[in-house]
Amino acid sequence: MKMGENQAFGISADVIPQGGSKCFDDDGRLKRTGTVWTASAHIITAVIGSGVLSLAWATAQLGWVAGPAVMFLFSLVTYYTSILLSACYRSGDPVSGKRNYTYMDAVQANLGGLNVKLCGLVQYLNLVGVAIGYTIASAISMMAIKRSNCFHASGGKDPCKINSNPYMIAFGIIEIIFSQIPDFDQLWWLSIVAAVMSFTYSTIGLGLGIAQVAGAGKIRGSLTGIGIGTVTQTDKVWRSFQALGDIAFAYSYSIILIEIQDTVRSPPSEAKTMKKATLVSVSVTTLFYMLCGCAGYAAFGDLSPGNLLTGFGFYNPYWLLDIANAAIVIHLVGAYQVYCQPLFAFLEKYASEKFPDSPFITKDIEVPIPGFRPYKLNLFRLVWRTVFVIITTLISMLLPFFNDVVGLLGALGFWPLTVYFPVEMYIAQKKIPNWSSRWLCLQILSFACLVISVAAAVGSVAGIVLDLKSYKPFGTIY
């Protein structure tokens, strides 16, 4: 076992001789302290992200019947496959088997071969994509604060056009600072703050939707969603596909489930704890998603904005919108770190194994901080994480299409990471025979989700192509 093997979510990975000490777990690492509630907080931080804001738009494309039904089906699939995935944390015995510290470790232990490389490629590309999506979403929310105050001051006469670039740069600078916190176990407080913020803005969005319905005295929308005429028949199809991607993105956290599970203490077995945490978090998020998506659609009908709190379906009370958008930004600062830590740890582990004698990569410099423990500065971590944030910020400035990017990310990550690998690993682990009824049911589930992912990807790409027609690099104005 090498140093830094689990710097993403677990306790500090200094190598300690294995033994029966009360301070250490069975793998010789400092005892994990996570519970159902901390795991739930991590999941909620990861799940109730910017995706919730596009659900009113997604519901508008699908209508009152298909919209809530699709959200409910995604929640069931996510819950079921998350339980399958959590059973793969340990190889062999579910209580004392060898731990798999990351998603890739679990794939290596259960499937091996080309699957590992494919998993790594999809997982880390998706994490990069999430970083880009969150940078775009946070900039839009920061601009929304500025615009709502501008609208209020001018009485709605000034169109309040704003360039998005300074706000993306500001978010990038904040992430460069936070990315220097070495491990996720030192970020638990940020995860809890982010979870509270996600409930704050979701609740405000829900409340404003309900108030809008009450004020209008009627529920807008139709059973089949946005009508032909408002959009063309082709656009209706593309938008419906893209809506599937938006909903898939709103549920995608399997990508970091194993890393979250590696923070959980035992006994009871980590799989049992994660099963409870998954039930709590998926139930809570589904309830919020249903309420926010349906309240937004009921308020605005076919005109539901792509981002409920920044699409200016709501203008007043402007101060409440400011609070909601500030909460989004604070939440995304934490969520960005939750998603990027596995990627940071993967590359740092690879570099330390490749160049174990390089002081630039392996040496920590102690920086004294008055009143606190010295901060361990690693030059490689400082340079690589800073470069990563700069690159994702530049890409965000090039492609600032919130709805389409969210849909594409959801489509690309949902089937392989949420469904395919958990199903295949579970089949391998439980030695389920080919063509048995259970094997067939699992394969049908996997194939159905593949079809949905392909459709969602096609719809999102169509949306991006449409956006590019009226697009100027680094010149996006809202």
Residue pLDDT, tens place only, 357-386: 888 888 878 778 787 777 778 888 889 899
DSSP H helical segments within 155-187, as ranges? 165-178
pLDDT in tens, 95-132: 778 888 888 888 998 888 888 888 888 888 888 888 88
| pLDDT score of 423 more than 90 | yes
What CA–CA distance (Å, rounded) separates 255 from 194? 18
> What is the pairing mode between strands 375-378 and 90-91?
unpaired
* pLDDT the model gives residue 406: 65
* pLDDT the model gives residue 445: 92
What CA–CA distance (Å, rounded) separates 299 from 288? 16
> Which 3 state secondary structure label does DSSP give 24?
strand
- With the CA atoms of 78, 84, 86 and 87 taken in that order, what torsion angle do they form, in degrees rounded to the nearest 10? 170
> Which 3 state secondary structure label does DSSP give 431?
coil
What CA–CA distance (Å, rounded) separates 82 from 60? 28
Q: Quick check: 35 and 25 in contact, CB under 8 A?
A: no
* pLDDT the model gives residue 3: 38
For 396, residues 6+ apart whose C-beta sits below 8 A from its C-beta are: 132, 135, 136, 139, 168
Ramachandran bin of 113, using left for φ above 0, alpha for ψ from -120 to 50, beta for the remaining angles:
left
Six token digits for residue 279: 């039930």
* pLDDT the model gives residue 455: 85
Q: Quick check: 298 and 209 in contact, CB under 8 A?
A: yes
Mean pLDDT lowest among 35-44, 124-133, 320-329, 397-406: 397-406
* pLDDT the model gives residue 151: 74
pTM of the model: 0.78
What CA–CA distance (Å, rounded) separates 152 from 138? 21
CA angle at 25 for the pair 21 and 26, rounded to the nearest 5°: 95
Q: How confident is the model at residue 478 (pLDDT cuts 50, 70, 90)?
A: low
Nearest to 269 by CA among 138, 89, 2: 89
| pLDDT score of 441 more than 90 | yes
| pLDDT score of 22 more than 70 | no
Instruction: Provide the terminal-to-terminal Cα distance of the chain, rounded to the nearest Å.
Output: 51
What CA–CA distance (Å, rounded) separates 73 from 247? 10
Domain boundaries, given as residue ranges, for the chain: 36-470
| pLDDT score of 219 more than 50 | yes
Q: How confident is the model at residue 473 (pLDDT cuts 50, 70, 90)?
A: low
To the nearest whole percent, how much of the chain has pLDDT over 90?
12
Mean pLDDT lowest among 136-140, 315-319, 366-370, 456-460: 315-319
**Homologous superfamily in CATH for domain 36-470:** Amino acid/polyamine transporter I (1.20.1740.10)
Amino acid type, 233 = Q
- With the CA atoms of 376, 183, 342 and 19 taken in that order, what torsion angle do they form, in degrees rounded to the nearest 10? 110
